[in-house]
Amino acid sequence: MGVFGNADPNGPMIYKGIYHLFYQYNPKGAVWGNIVWAHSTSTDLVNWTPHIPAIYPSQPSDINGCWSGSTTILPTGEPVILYTGINQQSQQVQNLAVPKNLSDPYLREWSKSPKNPLMAPTVSNQINASSFRDPTTAWLGPDRRWRVIVGSKRDRQGLAILYRSKDFVHWIKAQQPLHSAKDTGMWECPDFFPVPINAKFGVDTSVAGRHVKHVLKVSLDDTKHEYYTVGTYKLDKDIYIPDKGQVDSDSGLRYDYGKFYASKTFFDSSKKRRILWGWINESSSVDDDIKKGWSGVQAIPRTVWLDESGKQLVQWPVTEIERLRENQVHLTKQVLKGGSALEVSGVTSAQADVEISFGISDQLEKAEKLDPSWSNPQALCSEKGASVKGRLGPFGLLVLGSKGLQEQTAVFFRIFKGRDKYVVLMCSDQSRSSLNPDNDKTTYGAFLDVDPAREKLSLRSLIDHSIVESFGGEGKACITARVYPTLAIHDEAHLHVFNNGTQSVQITKFSAWSMKKALIS
């Protein structure tokens, strides 16, 4: 979406049937700096038209940069933006912008409030002026007051600072944060929203009560990982409490266990769903980014909802992306013996959508035992990559493979026998993804909450030249990889189904589609 450096998705929304995405953008170079709010619109979340930047430095309160923020749709239907500005003293402050002309369906021009900044660090409020950013979409409480949270930290404690307002202009800091967690560092790009229990539809950000759970997501500046918890929003005290068993730290649940950061959701009122946007940063070196003239892309938008268990979210690419599918290729049900690979032909492997399901229930007693010390899935995937033979696994897809497979990105499963259940490990192995030695080739991993004795084991991968977005267990775990193959490009990219375990597995379902190009003018 646009050339040069782009980053955090900002203020996604739908207004009069048109989707808007704003994002952090450097109009002057391929890497971070000179930050403005770029702006693109779409009617289908797939094809996008860019407009002039919506917000750029022009006031004392944002003269050194217009950083991340969110949109809120007021009860009148009018959208407003809250965003972080860097002021003349290089402090982080929160500002308001409103559309100049509501009859313009593209909302191309925005006016900033003369009252900016609306929230600022002072001696009395003890806010850290260099760690106070990224206001969320606001929500209305039963007292008809608006609430918003802003990410911050005090020492090593991550904070979601809460503000309240009657008119969206005059904001008063609450005495206590909505939530905080020790030793997590700066909370960037917080997101706080309700999800219905036992339903896949989404609800407006202001919805609260017993029929919903709440989700708090934070992006950790220290590790460049995001994590979220599912819990309860206590309206009477204006605090959020994660449910028992939720891990409130970097080792907790993530939307995505690969390259995916600064994410933001919005409520799509036209289709009653909550949509997640995330930024995929680079695996290439800064020198390579400057050479190619751009860096950073937005992930495919995903619909998110609460899993039946109530303990985690499920994500799936928006259905609109399927309009780009063409030339479907099927494989019949078949057994994939240990140590074998099957090439899939008839699909443009550099730009494809692949769905596969495996049957393994009759082989489960042969799974290797899970060592109790194997608690870090990423470390386990690094140790047991695609080339390391196991019993039940590794099996899955080899994507963006060169002719002799010197280059390949492997997305696969391994199954282990835990103490009282089978444990499914999902990996994305980038160790052989590119012959370019300057690329980051980290291998990613996640434990997948699927019982292979009772459920099919499914994988969907969206492949787009240098990006592989993979969804395991129908969206229970997602891993985005950023790869830059040097050989497996365009028509030289190959796609395989592989099984490098000793036990055979069954391919129960397989479909792949070539993907047309989206229009991003």
Catalytic residues: 8
C-alpha distances in Å from residue 162, one per residue of 88, 127, 174: 25, 12, 6
Q: Which helix (H) or strand (E) holds 381?
A: helix 377-383
Task: Answer for the pair 478, 462: CB distance below 8 angstroms, yes or no.
Answer: no
* Reduced DSSP (H G I as helix, E B as strand, rest coil) percent helix, strand, coil of the chain, to 5: 5, 50, 45
- Give me the amino acid identity at 389: K
Residue 253 DSSP label: B
Q: Is the Cα dihedral 111, 98, 133, 31 positive or negative?
A: negative
Closest CA to 13 of 56, 68, 71, 58: 71
| Phi, psi dihedral angles at 306 (to 5 degrees) | -85, 130
CA 200, chain centre distance (Å): 18
Name, in order, each residue with C-beta under 8 angstroms of 135's C-beta and a sequence gap of 6 or more: 69, 70, 82, 83, 84, 94, 119, 148, 149, 150
User: How many CB atoms neighbour CB 90 within 10 A?
Assistant: 11
Task: Answer for the pair 413, 394: CB distance below 8 angstroms, yes or no.
Answer: yes
